[in-house]
Amino acid sequence: MTVVQTFKQKYGPWALITGAAWGMGAEYSRQIGAMGLNLVLVDMRGDDLRKVADEVRRGGRVEVREVVTDLSRPDFMSALRPATDGLEIGLLVSNAAHLPVGLFFEQSLEDKIRMIEVNCRAPLILVHEFGAKMLARRRGGIILMSSGSATQGVAYIASYAATKAYNLVLAESLWDELREHGVDVLGFMPGATRTTGFELSKPRLERSAVAPVNDPKPTVAEALRVLGKTPSWIPGRRNRWILTLAQRLLPRKQMIKLVSSNMRQWYGR
């Protein structure tokens, strides 16, 4: 007889979510908390993190710990360890990202290096630390936030897209390495999603309607639904169709031009 496990049985009792103060990170916190997992929430923005943590606590079902730290710091794990030592972290959502939009040579080198630190180095360390314990327990889940921009070059987010390709390939590779050991890994690839960070980037959406803009709530729900079922996933039926079809039909050069021209319309002068 097959025993159907609940999300909490599979990935509890604790989840660790980075970039939890805003956007999809806050939404992960609400939805995972509502499923009964205790939370360790990580972000740089202490005030906003407290609001999300209090909102989840008001549900009255779970314990929530907050860690205010900058994931670009070489020693960020020393801020995380006191809050996580002794806890069984069964679910890691590596969601925080540094995502400035702009032409490559209009961004500073510091900004580009920060993207590598926050978007690549930090997820690598988190997976190494918490994934190893999941492997030893033969139980757990890891969501690495990638992006629809991860599968080809994109103007205006060149370095960012490259960091998201790192997350996608890391997730898919680990999906295969860990799947027989009870640990599920997902590379999640949203298209444009209406989050705080996205709004602050000030896209001029009226200039191009090629790429649909999704809402965080159903997007995050989709990640939690497909974890354990696939190595990677593009949320939103329309997004998935457009991207999959275009990738199959268009030469790579045309694909790069198409997604770049959408970005140029949203962010070009």
Please report, as ranges, the residues that interact with ligand NAP according to CB under 6 A: 19, 21-25, 43-45, 70-72, 95-99, 118, 145, 147, 190, 192-193, 195-198
Q: What are the CA-CA distances from residue 10 to residues 136, 140, 150, 233, 255 (Å)?
A: 15, 7, 28, 20, 38
Residue 43 contacts by C-beta under 8 Å, 6 or more apart in sequence? Answer: 18, 19, 20, 21, 22, 25, 49, 68, 96
Measured at CB, which residue is nearest to ligand NAP?
Answer: 197
Nearer to ligand NAP, 135 or 226 (CB): 226
Q: Least distance from C-beta 131 to ligand NAP, angstroms?
A: 18
Structure tokens at 33: 């908390």
Q: What are the CA-CA distances from residue 194 to residues 162, 242, 245 (Å)?
A: 22, 19, 23
Structure tokens at 81: 């360890």
Q: Least distance from C-beta 167 to ligand NAP, angstroms?
A: 8
Cis peptide before 251 (omega within 30 of 0): no
Q: Least distance from C-beta 211 to ligand NAP, angstroms?
A: 10
Active-site pick, 11, 160, 166, 267: 160
Torsion of CA 202, 206, 209, 211, to 10 degrees: 0
Q: What are the CA-CA distances from residue 23 to residues 112, 115, 199, 200 (Å)?
A: 22, 18, 10, 11
Q: Least distance from C-beta 173 to ligand NAP, angstroms?
A: 18
Q: Least distance from C-beta 137 to ligand NAP, angstroms?
A: 26
Nearer to ligand NAP, 89 or 96 (CB): 96
Nearer to ligand NAP, 139 or 214 (CB): 214
| 160 has catalytic annotation | yes
Nearer to ligand NAP, 53 or 192 (CB): 192
Residue 242 Ramachandran class (φ > 0 left, ψ -120 to 50 alpha, else beta): alpha
Nearer to ligand NAP, 98 or 139 (CB): 98
Whole-angstrom Cα distance, residue 194 to residue 213? Answer: 6
Nearer to ligand NAP, 72 or 159 (CB): 72
Q: Least distance from C-beta 70 to ligand NAP, angstroms?
A: 5
Report the helix count and the strand count for the chain, using DSSP H and E.
12, 7
Strand runs (DSSP E) across the chain, as ranges?
14-18, 38-43, 64-68, 89-94, 140-145, 183-188, 232-233
Catalytic residues: 160
